[in-house]
Amino acid sequence: MDKKCFGGNLALKIDISKAFDTLNWDFLINVLQGFGFNNIFCNWILAILNSAMISVSTNGTQQGYFSCKRGVRQGDPLSPLLFCLVEEALSMGISKLVEDGEVDLISSSRGSKVPSHCFYADDLMVFCKGKVSNLEALKKLFTRYANCSRQIINTSKSFLFFFLVGFNIAGSITFLMYLVSMKGAFLLHILVLQYSEVDLR
């Protein structure tokens, strides 16, 4: 993150709002079919999902039962596996942006590779250069993913870490102005870290 480049580097920490509870079943089945699971297996998964019932606790007693229309059950050993498969679809989308040159990776030292992103449970970290075009491409991808899967970014728990490295002020100021204009709709928190040439030694 502290490698000097024009405009600085970015790390986006993305949190999905109620990730397990909001997953669209149609999207899940489409993902499973895309990975080669046959119709029999997909119908088994749908039967398991449709068997889930929820109730309301009133004064310590459960009353009424309601069927679910989306989401996977927390505590079910199958749920994390299904969720990881859905996240893989987003992962492939980010990798495709990198392959197509729509997202520029952070420069790395010779002989080493810098990951474009990594997942931990329902949290996502994305690493790229501080360019407006990178954020626009990622924003479009996240919007398409949210429309299909109903996995919405939780802006109150998502962060954008913007590393201003060195004194590339021209590119940094332009990019910061773009971040301020879009933060309400994309990411709520912006952390700016500025290093001087001495700090990097």
Strands of the sheet with 189-195, listed across from one edge: 117-120, 123-129, 9-15, 159-165, 189-195
- The answer to whether the Cα torsion of 69, 70, 73, 74 is positive or negative is negative
**pTM for the full predicted model:** 0.74
Highest averaged pLDDT of the listed ranges 67-76, 85-94, 151-160, 166-175: 85-94
What average pLDDT score do residues 156-162 get? 75
Q: Which tens digits make up the pLDDT trace of 125-134? A: 888 887 778 8
What average pLDDT score do residues 65-93 get? 85
d(CA 136, CA 113): 24
